[in-house]
Chains A and B, each alone.
Chain A
Amino acid sequence: MPEQNFSQLISETVCTVLETMFFTVPLGYAESKAHPGDMEARLAFHGHPSGALDVCLSRPGARMLAGGFLGEEDETLTDIQLGQVTCELANMLCGSLVSKLEPEESFNLDPPELVPVRTEDSSERESSFTSRQSFELESGVLTVSLCLEAET
C-alpha cells in the first residue's frame, strides 16, 4: 500500500475513533514534536501484516480525551487514568487500522504499554515508521505512528 494511502487510513481511523468514543474530532494536522510529559503508548500486532502502532498524546490532549471518554472533569483525572486512556486509544486505533488493512484476516494484539516518550529528532523517528501523522486537537496534539514488518 502506498505511503499516501496509509496516511489517509490513519486519518480516517483517528476521526472515527475520536468522534465515536471520545466525542471530539481532530481540528487538522499538526507538527509532530514530542515533549517530556507527553504520554506514549505502544502495542504490537501479529498476523498478516504484523507490526506496531505508537500513540503519543501531549499532556493537554491526554487530559481532554480522557475527560471525554470517562465523562469526568479534566481536573479530577489522575495520571493513572490518563495512561489507561492513552493505552485504550492505542488499542482501538490499532484494532481499527489493522481490520481495515486486511478485513478478512484475523490478528492478535499485544496489550498496549506506556513507554518513555522519545524526544529525539523527528527525522530520525520518521525513518523507523511506515507512516506517521500528527493531529491538532481542541487541546493538545495526537501523533499516531504505524510500523509494518516486511512479510517474509
Chain B
Amino acid sequence: MALNIMIVDDSPVMRSFIRKVVGLTGLDVGEYCEAGDGELALRLLRERWVDLILTDINMPNMNGEELVSWLENDELLRSIPVIVVSTDSSQSRVQHMLALGAKGYVSKPFLPEALRDEVEKVLSVPHA
C-alpha cells in the first residue's frame, strides 16, 4: 500500500531534497505533505492522515522536540511513526529525541540509503 509521508522542515529546499531522496529509495509513496514548522504540521494532521513523519528539530514556532512530544501525548496521532532528520548528530540529542517518542533518527548529511534503511526499519517493511 502506498505511504503518505509528511516532511516537516523550515527550509523549503531541504523539504524538496528529502522528497527527492525518498523518491530514490523505491518506497511506494502515495502523497507528500509538507510543513514549515511543528504548528503547521499539527494543523495539517487534523485534516489528513499520514503514515510517516520526517521532521527537523530546529524550526520556528514549534520545533521538532515540541512536535514529537505533542504527538506522543495525542491519543490518535501517537501511532504515526516519526523519524528525526537533523544536523545534530550528538548522542545526547539522538537519545533525547528517541526518549520523547521518535522512532528513528537520521543525521544530516545522509546518503539516500541511510534514509531508506531508517524508513524501512521504522515501518518494518522489507527491502524495496
Q: Is the CB of B92 within 8 A of A106?
A: yes
Let me know if A137 is at the binding interface, CB within 8 A: no
| Interface 0/1 of A114-146, CB less than 8 Å to B | 000000000000000000000000000000000
In the complex, A71 Cα to B107 Cα: how many Å? 21
Size class of the A contact interface (CB-based, 8 Å): 20 to 34
Query: Which residues between 67 and 121 of chain A lie within 8 Å of chain B, taking CB atoms?
Result: 69-71, 81, 84-85, 87-88, 91-92, 94-96, 99, 102-109, 111
Let me know if B30 is at the binding interface, CB within 8 A: no
Q: Is the CB of B13 within 8 A of A88?
A: yes
Given A16-B109, A94-B87, A96-B87: A111 and B92 within 8 A (CB)? no
**Considering only CB atoms, which chain A residue lies closest to B95 in the complex?**
A106
Given A21-B108, A106-B92, A106-B96: A95 and B86 within 8 A (CB)? yes
Contacts of A84 in B (CB 8 A): 11-13
Q: Is the interface of A mostly helix, strand, loop or mixed?
A: helix
Q: Is the CB of A81 within 8 A of B87?
A: no
**Considering only CB atoms, which chain B residue lies closest to A93 in the complex?**
B87
Query: Which residues between 29 and 77 of chain A lie within 8 Å of chain B, taking CB atoms?
Result: 66, 69-71
Q: Is the CB of B110 within 8 A of A20?
A: yes
Contacts of B20 in A (CB 8 A): 70-71
Size class of the B contact interface (CB-based, 8 Å): 20 to 34
Let me know if B34 is at the binding interface, CB within 8 A: no
- Per a CB cutoff under 8 Å, which of A20, A88, A99, A109 touches B111? A20
Let me know if A17 is at the binding interface, CB within 8 A: yes
In the complex, A87 Cα to B91 Cα: how many Å? 25
Q: Is the CB of A107 within 8 A of B12?
A: no
Given A20-B109, A92-B108: A99 and B88 within 8 A (CB)? yes
In the complex, A99 Cα to B86 Cα: how many Å? 11
What are 14 sample pairs from A and B whose C-beta atoms fall under 8 A apart? A20-B109, A70-B16, A71-B20, A81-B13, A88-B13, A91-B11, A91-B58, A95-B86, A99-B89, A103-B91, A106-B90, A109-B58, A111-B10, A111-B58
Known: A102-B90, A106-B93. 20 other contacts (CB 8 A): A17-B109, A21-B109, A69-B13, A70-B13, A81-B13, A84-B12, A88-B14, A91-B58, A92-B87, A95-B86, A95-B88, A95-B107, A99-B88, A103-B90, A103-B91, A104-B92, A109-B87, A109-B88, A111-B58, A111-B60
**B residues touching A (Cβ–Cβ < 8 Å)?**
10-14, 16-17, 20, 58, 60, 86-93, 96, 107-111
